[in-house]
Structure 1
Amino acid sequence: MKEYKMDTVRRSTLSQQVLEQIVQLLMSGQLNPGDKLPAEMNLMEQFDVSRPVLREALSSLETLEIITRRPRGGTFVNDKVGSNPFKVMLALSINNVPAIIEARMALELGLVTIAAEKISDAELEKIKETIVSIQENAHSDYGRLDKEFHRLIAQSANNPVVEGMIDSLLITHEKTDSLITYREPDITIEHHLAIYEALKSRDPFESFKQMYTHLSYVRKKILADYKEKQ
């Protein structure tokens, strides 16, 4: 069994520290894209943590698409992990909620202004369809539709250089969405419609303004609950 040079994990946020240790193994070159991780029992011994702690860390790494767990095949570092360093930064900060929200805002505010200049009528129609679907499903968990609304806008920026950022944007969306304790469909619909109208007008300044209004509202809502639990 291959032995890795790593620190024993002993502090409170154990799963986060395991995640950080694995990312550090990647950064130091002890682990490389395509490598197979040791069996769970071996990792538990090397990190000196329980199975639930290890599995929580591995689950987070899989959500970030840094690793892939194959049934009966083992756990592997993804081949393309080295091409998307932003995901590694996300891995290190995934539980830093204020930073994750700000990262999402930085990405979306930039992408929506580009989208306003490039968006097609067909893309606008798809965005409108997500708003109609939220209206029709206002009393259910419409998180999937909300995510699709933001994905379509980012994708309509149609820039191959920033395409890799869209996956990271969706990861931050999933993280922030998971922290929302209650839905406010009327406000969501109002905000989404305002963003849609600004995009339809091909106005990057208004698109930025309306997206900022929406995301700053989401930030305030999430952080109010987050701070109460600290």
Structure 2
Amino acid sequence: MSRDIKLKSIKKNTLSSLVMDEIIKLLIDGKIKPGDKLPSEYELMEMLYVSRAVLREALSALETLGILKRKSREGTYISDKIGTRPFRLMLALSSDDIETIIETRMTQELGFVTLAAEKITEEELQRLETTIYNMSNNIGNYDEMDKEFHNIITSSVMNNVTSGIIEPLMDFFYKMYYTISKEHRNIDITIQQHQAIFEALKDRDPFEAHRAMYIHLDHVRKRVKLGKINNEEN
């Protein structure tokens, strides 16, 4: 493995972030791939001209981000699946800004629902219909049914990359959303909007699915803003 890798020399007095950047660049350039084993610490130290302390700091940071996995007695590997940690850290910077979170959710979920119109299975469509029925008839927890509806859609097209983005995004949104007043919630409107999304997906119509989801998420965004204003006034 080490014979095939060429790294830029890094001066001893530079920060460990430069080591991180160099390893990430190799991954982006395709010179190392998910699942590959990195050279030993000694080999990396020689390639990068850095101390063990600097190298270990960089490796630890990359492991925290979910980019590396260190296995005792086996060595250090590039993660074969992008985890949620990098995106969770980005979201944490906006943890007090629910408007940013909902807008980010819109950019992602509108794309998901468009692809779902092509890929969603009959079994998943049945599950969507069940959530709408349960919400309409007060069966189970309303909030959980609402989350389940959206989770079914996103999971129908999820892959290793998108799961690392949408899962923490939805978690952050709902945690923040539940801290905002629900006085302005209109269950009937939500159910109608969910029904419209379902019908578009059932018809395999990506354009109508996108339109129906936009109407729904825009409604949520306006409700979030109103709840935030009320909280600030109280």
Normalising by the smaller structure, the TM-score range is: 0.5 to 0.7
| Residue equivalent to 1:118 | 119
Q: 1:151 to 1:197 in 2, by over 3 A?
A: same
Displacement of 1:171 in angstroms is: 1.3
Is 1:98 aligned with 2:96? no
Equivalenced residue count is 160
Cα distance in 1 between the residues matched to 2:149 and 2:200: 14
Displacement of 1:166 in angstroms is: 2.9
Q: 1:143 to 1:82 in 2, by over 3 A?
A: closer
Is 1:188 aligned with 2:190? yes
Q: 1:30 to 1:219 in 2, by over 3 A?
A: same
| Residue equivalent to 2:53 | none
CA deviations on 1:161-196 (whole Å, 9 max, x unpaired) are 312223123213313531251332111110000000
Question: If the length of structure 1 is used for normalisation, what is the TM-score?
Answer: 0.61
| Residue equivalent to 1:217 | 219
> In the alignment, which of 216, 220, 227 is matched to residue 229 of structure 2?
227
| Residue equivalent to 2:138 | 137
SS of 1:162's equivalent in the other structure is: helix
Cα distance in 2 between the residues matched to 1:159 and 1:31: 26
Displacement of 1:87 in angstroms is: 1.1
Displacement of 1:114 in angstroms is: 0.9
Equivalences for 1:9-28 in 2 at 5 Å? none
Equivalences for 1:1-230 in 2 at 5 Å? 32=61, 84-137=85-138, 142-178=142-178, 179-182=180-183, 183-230=185-232
Cα distance in 2 between the residues matched to 1:83 and 1:97: 19
Aligned-partner residue type, residue 93 of structure 1: S
RMSD: 2.8
Cα distance in 1 between the residues matched to 2:63 and 2:87: 19
Aligned-partner residue type, residue 144 of structure 2: R
**Greater Rg, structure 1 or structure 2?**
2
Q: 1:142 to 1:177 in 2, by over 3 A?
A: farther
SS of 2:182's equivalent in the other structure is: coil
Q: Structure 1 residues 79-88 or 168-177, which shifts more?
A: 79-88
Question: If the length of structure 2 is used for normalisation, what is the TM-score?
Answer: 0.60
Cα distance in 2 between the residues matched to 1:209 and 1:116: 12
Cα distance in 2 between the residues matched to 1:188 and 1:146: 9
Q: 1:221 to 1:202 in 2, by over 3 A?
A: same
Cα distance in 2 between the residues matched to 1:145 and 1:118: 22
CA deviations on 1:18-61 (whole Å, 9 max, x unpaired) are xxxxxxxxxx85974778xxxxxxxxxxxxxxxxxxxxxxxxxx
| Residue equivalent to 2:31 | none
Instruction: Flag structure 1 segments of 5+ consecutive residues without an equivalent.
Output: 1-27, 36-78
Q: Give the conservation status (yes or no) of the 8 Å contact 2:105–2:169.
A: yes
Displacement of 1:100 in angstroms is: 0.8
Cα distance in 2 between the residues matched to 1:109 and 1:81: 22
Displacement of 1:109 in angstroms is: 0.7
Instruction: Flag structure 2 segments of 5+ consecutive residues without an equivalent.
Output: 1-56, 65-78
Q: Give the conservation status (yes or no) of the 8 Å contact 1:113–1:205.
A: yes
Q: Give the conservation status (yes or no) of the 8 Å contact 1:103–1:172.
A: no
